[in-house]
Amino acid sequence: MQVRRIKDGPERVYAIVFQTGDNPIEGLKAVARDEGLGGSSVTAIGAFQRAVLGFFDFERKDYHRIPVAEQCEVVSLMGNVAEGPDGPGLHLHAVLGKCDGQAVAGHLLEAEVHPTLEVMLFGSPAHLVRRKDTETGLALLAPSHPETA
Amino acid sequence: MQVRRIKDGPERVYAIVFQTGDNPIEGLKAVARDEGLGGSSVTAIGAFQRAVLGFFDFERKDYHRIPVAEQCEVVSLMGNVAEGPDGPGLHLHAVLGKCDGQAVAGHLLEAEVHPTLEVMLFGSPAHLVRRKDTETGLALLAPSHPETA
Amino acid sequence: MQVRRIKDGPERVYAIVFQTGDNPIEGLKAVARDEGLGGSSVTAIGAFQRAVLGFFDFERKDYHRIPVAEQCEVVSLMGNVAEGPDGPGLHLHAVLGKCDGQAVAGHLLEAEVHPTLEVMLFGSPAHLVRRKDTETGLALLAPSHPETA
């Protein structure tokens, strides 16, 4: 993983490039923690050699796993970074393109880059906070939460 | 719907979170009108309990409706806000992921959030204008229109 | 193609609108070159009357072509601009929606707009550089490359 801040000042924009074998979820969490980015948005394109997408199952209160056990283009990776109980947390959704163009879409649970993933991270000094929702068990974004003041 | 401006200054970035039952199209229109955001771009992820996508039919000069009558992940919601004849108008396209990862994609005509939709709105002080295109009947973005000066 | 800078200052945001028959890949390359945008990110929605998507074939070290020979909604177009050996180069991935909502996804190789493509380009004064990767033959983003300093 290589990180470069391409803009400084009130808003910080980072170009982050992942390489073969990298885990982009853990990598982005580390950047967010190291750079103090509590409220950011992320877009990315590239390719994975494998991934697991998720679809939230409200009965089980957990993600149904959708394995993508093949090389695929990362056609859209979109999401945000917010402060959770254990530090910065990521919420990422991905559209993956298979060799015939078939699109598979869902919550990004696992991913292994090959050969590259090019991320733009738009960091904000504001801290967005996630709070556990008692109904679903999900950590939902709570922009008006007092801790965000 | 909860709104929080996470960056101020020349460019304004808003984190907007919708909750179960919210209509995000009407909600974003209200934010754009109330905050005077005439030229903005939008990205979002989350989930809907139902939606209707559209595919523009040039013969009928109207959208062919593609109902998605089930819970789905909002894997990509992307678009912009521009001034139309009736105030700020939204143009949003969505990729939705079904329970098996199948992706459905089109113009967003209707949507009902469940349990959350996390929107980042990048507001610009500039006013983008839409003008009715006589050939298609669509209100197309006209960035060089004199009213935008 | 119409171009309008909607924000000036350290970061430059452009609204770029393409019309029927335009080639958006060549158009965006021209804007990047004319405006000196060496490190930018791009999002867009609209519609194409035809396109060719690509899936990178590591054996042939070239893209497998996936023709989309029909009118389609551009539901997500995402990517970046970086300096390559021949000037600014684009890396764009697209999710296209067919008339029944079927999503097709991949690297954007060719596209012809109809009737509009609405692009937001977030330009950065920093210059991102692409370097040829000897293993794959691909020009990969190299953010920490000395030429970017």
pLDDT band at A44 (very low <50, low <70, confident <90, very high): very high
- Could you tell me if C62 and A29 are in contact, meaning their C-beta atoms sit under 8 angstroms apart? no
CB pair distance less than 8 Å for A103 and C126: no
- What span, in angstroms and rounded, lies between the C-alpha atoms of B12 and C90? 27
Q: Which of C75, C77, C100, C119 to mutate to test the interface with B (most CBs of B within 10 A)?
A: C75
* Predicted TM-score of the model (pTM): 0.92
- Average pLDDT of span A81-99: 91
Residues C97/B105, Cβ–Cβ less than 8 Å: yes
Give the CATH number for residue B71: 3.30.1330.80
* Global ipTM: 0.91
**H or E stretch covering A34:** helix A24-34
Burial state string for A22-40 with b = 16 or more CB within 10 A and e = fewer than 16: bebeebbbebbeebebbbb
Total domains, chain A: 1
Q: Give the per-residue pLDDT at C71.
A: 98
B38: in domain = yes
Kindly indicate the confidence band of residue B143, based on its pLDDT and cuts at 50, 70 and 90. low
Compute how many other C-beta atoms are within 10 angstroms of the C-beta atom of residue C135: 10
Helix (H, G, I), strand (E, B) or coil at A50: strand
Does any domain span residue B147? no
Is residue A8 a part of any domain in this protein?
Answer: yes
Q: Is residue B108 part of a domain?
A: yes
Looking at residue B60, what is its pLDDT?
Answer: 95
Tens-place pLDDT, residues C8-41: 555 678 889 999 999 999 999 998 888 888 788 9
Count A/B contacts: CB-CB distance under 8 Å.
Answer: 114
| Chain C interface includes A120 (CB < 8 A) | yes
Instruction: Verify whether the Cβ–Cβ distance B102 to A105 is below 8 Å.
Output: yes
Evaluate whether residue C144 is within a structural domain: no
User: CA-CA distance, A62 to A20, in Å (whole number)?
Assistant: 29
Residue in chain A lying closest to B102 (CA): A104
- Supply the pLDDT for residue A146: 45
Whether the ω angle into residue B115 lies within 30 degrees of 0, i.e. cis, is yes
Mutate to test the interface with B, among C120, C121, C124 (most CBs of B within 10 A): C120
Residue among C59, C106, B147 at smallest CA distance from A73: C106
Q: In the complex, which subunits touch B with 3 or more CB pairs below 8 angstroms?
A: A, C
Provide the pLDDT for residue B146: 45
| pLDDT class of C1 with cuts at 50, 70, 90 | low
Extract the tokens encoding C117. Answer: 């493509």
With an 8 Å Cβ cutoff, are B124 and C6 in contact?
Answer: yes
Higher-pLDDT residue of B88 and C28 is: C28
| Strand-pair partners of A78 | A43, A93
Residue A95 inside a domain? The answer is yes
Tokens of A68: 């993508």
For B81, B135, C73, C133, the CA distances from C47, given in Å and listed in that order, are 17, 15, 4, 33
Domain limits for position B111? 2-135
What six digits make up the tokens of B126? Answer: 């500039």
Which DSSP string corresponds to chain B? -EEEEEE-SSSEEEEEEEETT--HHHHHHHHHHHHT-SEEEEEEEEEEEEEEEEEEETTTTEEEEEEE-S-EEEEEEEEEEEEETTEEEEEEEEEEE-TT-BEEEEEEEEEEEEEEEEEEEEEESS--BEEE-TTT--EEE-TT-GGG-
Structure tokens at C143: 């953010």
pLDDT of residue A145 exceeding 60, the answer is no
Q: pLDDT by residue (tens digit) across B95-111? A: 999 999 999 999 999 99
**SS (HEC) of chain C:** CEEEEEECCCCEEEEEEEECCCCHHHHHHHHHHHCCCCEEEEEEEEEEEEEEEEEEECCCCEEEEEEECCCEEEEEEEEEEEEECCEEEEEEEEEEECCCCEEEEEEEEEEEEEEEEEEEEEEECCCCEEEECCCCCCEEECCCCHHHC
Percent of chain B with pLDDT over 70: 86
Q: Which chain B residues in 6-45 lie under 8 Å from chain A, judged by CB atoms?
A: 6-7, 9, 11, 13, 15-17, 43, 45
**Residue C146 in domain:** no
Read off φ and ψ for residue C130, nearest 5 degrees: -105, 140
- A75 and C58 within 8 Å at the Cβ level: the answer is no
- Domain-located, residue A72: yes
Q: Cα separation of A43 and B79, whole Å?
A: 14
Q: What is the pLDDT of residues C123-143, one digit of tens each?
A: 875 668 888 888 888 888 886
Question: How far is B64 from chain A, CA to nearest CA, in Å?
Answer: 21
